[in-house]
Amino acid sequence: MCGIVGYNGKKKAVDILLDGLSKLEYRGYDSAGIAIKDKNIEIFKAKGKLINLQDKIKDKNLKGTIGIGHTRWATHGEPSENNAHPHVSNNGNVTLVHNGIIENYQELIQKLEKHNYKFYSDTDTEVLTNIIDYYYNKYKIGPIDAINRTMVRVRGSYAIAVMFKDYPDEIWVARKDSPMIIGQNDDGTYVASDVPAILKYTKNVYYIDNLEAACLKKDKVIFYDLNGDVIKKEMQEIKWDVSAAEKEGYEHFMIKEIYEQPEVIKKTINSYIQDNTIDISRSNLTQEEIKDIKEIYIIACGSAYHVGVCAQYILEDLTKIPVRVEIASEFRYRKPLLNKKGLAIIISQSGETADSLAALREAKNAGIKTLGIINVVGSSIAREADHVLYTLAGPEIAVATTKAFSTQLIITYILAIEMAHVKRKINKKKYLELIKEIQTIPDKIKNILEDDTNNIQKLSSKFSYVHDAFYIGRNLDYAISLEGSLKLKEVSYIHSEAYAAGELKHGTISLIEPNTLVIGVITQDEIYEKTISNLVEVKSRGAYIITVNPNKIDVNKVADFTINIPETNKYFYPSLTVIPLQLLSYYITVSKGLDVDKPRNLAKSVTVE
Ligand code: M6R
């Protein structure tokens, strides 16, 4: 999705804007642009990678200390220089960058055309720029009133950064349903759609709420509500390390983030478990509230949904509360019947995924309690959910999630154990046993990374040619197969599917041919023999079988290649099995020579429907 960065201060804006945009590349984009004010506001744009924009401006000697920049992920209008942001109003008074979508832009075009506005691009953003300009001129009002009138008039989602020709020392920003943070240090003020863009410059930020606006001056930020009244905001400190958003010698963010997993999982565990006791009181979810929960709805998208599928097995088994897991984009439009004593759990790394945010609002409107499992502090879901449990994954830059996924899993285990204990479904002994075992997960992952990476790397080069892969497993092994399969297809572009092992024979087995790659995940004691039988069925049709399993499970009669993982409690295997699956996807993609951190057509945080 698009990215915004803006700076107003003492330093040359061009360097800060380009650096910030480079930190937003991971979000996915197809063109980029900046506007810098020196004597006049000068605009530079280029289609394609940021390097094209850098080439365009390298000899320009841009000295301005105020400017806005943007990476565009095309929605309205093809990727082109003409459609790239910043956009400028007809009379040149308003220059704007925008993330999000203006839904009623056609209606606004008609309105503006009646007033002789002309359009040079195919974007909804140009319309937004001119609407601000229209109100600004019509009522002879200042930026805040023009922006507020625009916010009332437009429908959709937006984060905008605006420069007015008449207010050369200010950047104006506003947002609705699209992320934006504002930072400040002694050198100036900053705005960005995402923390990594400004993390290097400051950790002191303000969170701007929906339908609020702000004016960034060189030394202060003034916030306004929709009435145009000034509002006070507290500055907050971001806890992320600057180094977490840098590659630090790794070839790609994805592999760096895979290797960070033991550390961030440990951090996440330690923030909720001390002295063998779980403490989730920071979420404000009380034991009384837990006792009262009669149903659980887990709602999420993509990999976060797969965490939900794992959690469904674990939560239901441990707490004996019925659990349903739903894809957010389906949940939000299907008017589900929800128990008033239900708990909706929204899982999201970014906390900004449009469908997950909408699902959260649906659940709140239905009057049920909501709990977010979120990585980005201050994100929309984190702010709107009744309760929040934060994952401490730090900034995740690779589009394909790894460490956020793993920390989300951990939170669901902790929640399941705590709920089961509070509801007296497990006794103290079991509670302590599970807590003890959870704490071994970071080291077990470290062992997998140390012991298996080389073999997986060698194996992967053999599979760069494959067209199809199937991931199969039962129960929790099926849940993690869903994630393994998504991981492979999203980065390597190899078609892959995950199947509940027992379901193959109902159609999919007809796709198995000699050398089709089948990955079997086999960890669950009660049912592993069944999965092995299913693997035998595909092996006898010529499939090449890789298994991921603890040593105690004998896979000799099926596996062409075995990846051994350490033993753990049955509930926690997903945390271990996912590691080789992530490595497999990473190395297959690298051996195909693809851009593993920025797969085509994908965006890190999906803020549109
Ligand atoms: O930010 P979120 O966790 O809400 O994002 C949800 C999905 O878009 C995300 O997990 C996506 O599926 C990942 N790219 C998968 O690696």
Taking only the tens place, the pLDDT of each residue in 402-437 is: 999 999 999 999 999 999 999 999 999 999 999 999
With cut-offs at 50, 70 and 90, classify the pLDDT of residue 133.
Answer: very high
Q: What is the pLDDT of residue 335?
A: 85
- Tell me if residue 301 is catalytic: no
Q: Whose CA is nearest to atom 4 of ligand 1?
A: 348
CA dihedral 586, 588, 589, 591 (to 10 degrees): 120
Helix, strand, coil share (%) of the chain residues, nearest 5: 40, 25, 35
- Tell me if residue 530 is catalytic: no
Percent of the chain scoring above 70 in pLDDT: 100
Question: Strand pairing of 156-164 and 544-550?
Answer: unpaired
Q: What is the pLDDT of residue 609?
A: 73
Q: Which tens digit of pLDDT belongs to each residue from 300-353? A: 999 999 999 999 999 999 999 999 999 999 998 888 899 999 999 999 999 999
- Output the CA torsion sign for 497, 501, 502, 506: positive
Distance between CA 261 and CA 386 in Å, rounded? 28
| Residue position matching structure tokens 């790659």 | 517
Q: CA 437: distance to chain centroid?
A: 28
CA of 404 to the centre of ligand 1 (A): 9
Per the CB < 8 A criterion, the answer to whether 537 and 516 are in contact is no
CA of 602 to the centre of ligand 1 (A): 10
HSE-CB for 65 with a 13 A CA cutoff: 12
Residue 143 burial by Cβ neighbours in a 10 Å radius (0-12, 13-18, 19+) = buried
Best probe residue, ligand 1, of 606, 607, 608 (max atoms within 8 Å of C-beta)? 606
Q: Is 556 helix (H, G, I), strand (E, B) or coil?
A: coil
Percent of the chain scoring above 90 in pLDDT: 83
Q: What is the pLDDT of residue 27?
A: 74
Which residues lie across from 343 on neighbouring strands?
296, 369
User: Across the chain, what does the average pLDDT equal?
Assistant: 94
Q: Whose CA is nearest to atom 7 of ligand 1?
A: 302
Per the CB < 8 A criterion, the answer to whether 71 and 27 are in contact is yes
Per the CB < 8 A criterion, the answer to whether 380 and 239 are in contact is no
What residue ranges line ligand 1, CB within 6 angstroms?
301-304, 348-350, 353, 356, 399-401, 486, 490, 605-606
Q: Is 385 helix (H, G, I), strand (E, B) or coil?
A: coil
Q: Which tens digit of pLDDT belongs to each residue from 258-277? A: 999 999 999 999 999 999 99
Domain architecture of the chain: domains with CATH = 3-238 (3.60.20.10), 255-439 (3.40.50.10490), 451-592 (3.40.50.10490)
Q: What is the pLDDT of residue 249?
A: 87
Q: In what order do the strands lie in the sheet with 236-237?
A: 41-47, 31-37, 66-72, 3-9, 188-192, 181-185, 204-207, 236-237
With cut-offs at 50, 70 and 90, classify the pLDDT of residue 568.
Answer: very high
pLDDT at 566 over 90: yes
Tally the residues of the chain.
Answer: 609
Nearest to 82 by CA among 56, 120, 55: 120
Burial 53-74 (b: 16+ CB within 10 A, else e): bbebbeeeebebbbbbbbbbbb
Q: Is 330 helix (H, G, I), strand (E, B) or coil?
A: helix
| Residue position matching structure tokens 């550390």 | 263
> Model-level pTM?
0.85
Nearest to 195 by CA among 185, 203, 187: 203
Q: Whose CA is nearest to atom 14 of ligand 1?
A: 400
| Residue position matching structure tokens 């469908």 | 355
The tokens describing 274, both together, are 């001390």
Q: Kindly give, in sequence order, each residue whose CB lies less than 8 Å from that of residue 31, ignoring residues fewer than 6 positions away.
A: 45, 46, 47, 48, 71, 72, 74, 79, 80, 81, 83, 84
